[in-house]
Chain A
Amino acid sequence: MDRQDDFNVSRRALLAGAAFAGVLGTVLATVPTAGQEEAMETGPAPDLASLPHEKVTLVAPPFVHPHQQVSAGGPRVVEFVMTIEEKELVIDEYGTTVHAMTFNGSVPGPLMVVHQDDYVELTLINPDSNMLQHNIDFHSSTGALGGGALTLINPGEQVKLRWRATRPGVFVYHCAPGGPMIPWHVVSGMNGAIMVLPRDGLKDGRGNPLRYDKVYYVGEQDFYVPRDEEGNFKTYESAGDGYDDMVKVMRTLTPSHVVFNGAVGALTGENAMTSKVGETVLIVHSQANRDTRPHLIGGHGDHVWQGGKFNNAPDVDLETWFIAGGSAGAALYTFLQPGIYAYVNHNLIEAVELGATAHFMVEGEWNDDLMVQVQAPTPIGG
């Protein structure tokens, strides 16, 4: 029997959520106290009250909140607040809409930055204007389904989770409210990334420090918008109304849109990223659901953590890098030529036809040694 028949969900069932959350999730979700995970291999938690606390205000991608690349002191407790917003988003220039589920109102959610051994303390708010149950699974955290089992909240609730960032790297976070709700929430936009920097900053494979002048966060999102009989994208009253149709499209594994920053063209034109010759840019790229292969047309990856984990030596001089679905990667590049660069998913069908294209506008002086047009176009033999 076709499995999708099992999930002919009503809005009420969606709201209940627990029907899909599985026994483990449901039981753990009733444990009210966060921060009492089993003792980690790093030993019992220190007296957190004695640690410095820092409140961070998150900013919407592709921008990243201010942060130090090298930590000035010891571990801190870094406090974040994220509000979940269910909202209708326009995802292409033709007005196609989706009922998006978002961390803090954006697709992807904001990039959080801490240092290794910091404590991440997140207050997650699910306002009662929302319809659905949500939670958060941090791939960089340890235990409780990445925190998902401790953060499942209904509309009108909030929860606070604290976890220790033990491994340096860029990691995905996403909503995972159980069963078929998991992929549905993730491909409705409910994912983002966190960057856990080594306390002494990034390094190449030989221990030499690597620094960036600028960091951009590019979150790649696959959308699965159902079409009507004539092939036009459909719109729905609510997220729940579109659920059955959307699951059918999701099962084809063929996205209708593959975009950066939540919409076709969200990082082009007046929203294009900027840099200049001589500037070093760190591009953090996440894909919570599906493999991707970033490529900077006309540039390279000087140092690339394809798996995104900073204790591994970065690859150097890459043309295209691979980011496995459900992970984030980071690429460091110093621009050497001015011009317009396209930053694409180098499945070029996805880049051009489905939307996965961003642009960099780079100012500066041209370097003839790197490239020159020796002869302008002229008739053959001329």
Chain B
Amino acid sequence: MTAGTTTPVQRSQSGLLLPAALLVGLLALLGWQAGALRLPAADGMAPVPQTVRIAPRPYAYRAVGSFLSDGAVVDGPLIEVATPAPLELMTYQVSVGEYARCVAAAACRPAQPRRGADRPDLPVTGVSHDDAMRYADWLGAATGAAWRLPTVAEWVFAAGSRAGDDALGLVANTANPAERWLAAYAQETAAATGAAAQPLPRGTGGLNEHGVADLAGPVWEWTATCDGRTTLAPDGSVLRRLEACGAHYLEGRHRAVMTNFVRDAASGGCSTGLPPDNLGFRLVREPGWVGTVAGWWAGLFGGR
């Protein structure tokens, strides 16, 4: 991340890392790592999903949430990231078959896929943010590694050319709020038009330039990024940000925000605006202690 500036996402991450949670997390991670070191094959209850490692490169993403400047709704700033951390991400979205193991282990609640979307090779859909968190916990225990949802920034980093930008590029106008409503509606309509709404077998959407499959197709992906509102000062710096973690962002054909327990964004749509077609997810694999140390080592001697 860019040094010196406090971005909304950095704030959201630090906001989550309460000291108590940090301590519990560290202890838990230590436990997993000890297990993994004793049993390097890690052939527990689940096979390790295929992942792809995305090397650091400069990129930019549109800041998340709604932004207010001088009382008017404006686009969030474009945040440039010069040297992101490397990211290990599932190549494919979690499948119906994979998710079923977690349900069978009584660690996940059954998904509620749309009609006809329950074949094992399809990405699992009809899952809430809560479901995805449960799955990540279970997968961690079952594979001896730590898994979590990506942040919006990480998703954009991994999605590369498949990531969109929901900026409307309008001049802030407190006199006519409808300008943004109409422009946003037109943008969502354009993003939705003509594309399949039914989940497709994994791999159908092809790989992007970083080797990540099925991005921005009929299945939106939950992220770890909370809803929230950011108020900007006239110079564009952040005055304040209010997190609202009862809802999280989804990434896909367009960015969407959804209450944590929702599994289906409803067929008729919101009263205005177009909902995501299907809710699914994929996970980031956290580097273990070994990986982290190796990363430091590479950082020290890799001359990057």
Interface residues of A (CB under 8 A from B): 92-96, 227, 230-233, 264-265, 268-270, 272, 297, 337-342, 344, 351-357, 359, 361-366, 368, 373, 375-379
Contacts and interface: CB of A to CB of B under 8 A. Distances in A.
B272 A342 contact: yes
Contacts of A268: 269, 274
Interface in B56-77: 68, 71-72
A297 B271 contact: yes
Given A377-B68, A379-B240, A379-B242, A356 B268 contact: yes
Contacts of B12: none
Given A94-B197, A340-B182, A365-B176, A376 B71 contact: yes
Nearest to A377: B229
Contacts of B130: none
A352 B269 contact: yes
- Main secondary structure, interface of A, reads loop
Given A96-B115, A270-B189, A377-B68, A352 B181 contact: no
Contacts of A357: 268-269, 271
Contact of B178 (A269, A338, A378): A338
A94 B115 contact: yes
B96 to A, nearest CB: 13
A246 to B, nearest CB: 16
Contacts of B269: 265, 268, 352, 357
B185 interface: yes
Given A366-B177, A379-B242, A338 B182 contact: yes
B118 interface: yes
A353 B189 contact: no
Contacts of A341: 272
A265 B195 CA distance: 14
B198 interface: yes
B114 interface: yes
Nearest to B72: A376
B185 A361 contact: yes
Contacts of A364: 178
Given A270-B189, A340-B182, A376-B72, 15 more contacts: A92-B267, A95-B197, A265-B268, A265-B269, A270-B193, A340-B273, A341-B272, A354-B268, A355-B268, A357-B269, A361-B186, A363-B182, A366-B175, A366-B176, A379-B242
Given A361-B185, A362-B178, A340 B272 contact: yes
